[in-house]
Structure 1
């Protein structure tokens, strides 16, 4: 997420882009509106899920989306719950996509 954008603004823009792509998405946890980090969970609708978080690429200094965890959905949910306990400002967005499409690799979301 760009440091100039609030978390709330980024989340609303992301949900709008997902909606335009017909990818169902929901805010399952609201974090700090101005500076909260964002996790994206993609439920694959087969009992499995993948969770993504933003991280710094130490080689380039860029912010990139990296996979936090993947596997059976209850295990992914447990990892997300631990992250939420450690960071009360955390946002969680859940996507439903059989093919795992998140749009996180698209311009404006990947930068």
Structure 2
């Protein structure tokens, strides 16, 4: 059974803080099933946007975990902000969580498919 997006985002924020990083929910969407996007900033200031993986990335019909893919890896901060705004217009129920990673890499906090 998959947990609600609200609970999942809260747990992610706690895990990031526990790992010495910083996280904040920039946009709160539908509490039960809103799609989550992660804006990840590393110690050197570079940004990455992670979005929900396509359904074809999952092995089972009802997955237990959330999978993410890197979206637009070479875009600037302004381009990523514009992309997030387009996603918000397309689906107003999305969640956006900004993360500044600490001592633990983002790959240990969320599942990423490349």
**TM-score, normalised via structure 1 length:** 0.79
CA contact (8 A) 1:43 1:97 kept: yes
Name the CA shift for 1:46/1:75 in 2 (closer, same or farther; >3 Å).
farther
**TM-score, normalised via structure 2 length:** 0.77
**Are residues 1:79 and 2:77 paired?**
no
Matches within 5 A, 1:42-61: 42-44=40-42, 48-56=46-54, 58=56, 61=59
**Are residues 1:89 and 2:93 paired?**
yes
Q: CA deviation at 1:29?
A: 0.3
CA contact (8 A) 1:44 1:99 kept: no
Structure with the bigger percentage of strand: 1
Match of 1:41 in 2: 39
Over aligned residue pairs, what C-alpha RMSD do you find? 2.7
Q: Which has the higher contact order (CA 8 A, sep 6+)?
A: 2
Aligned equivalents of 2:29 and 2:36: distance in 1? 8
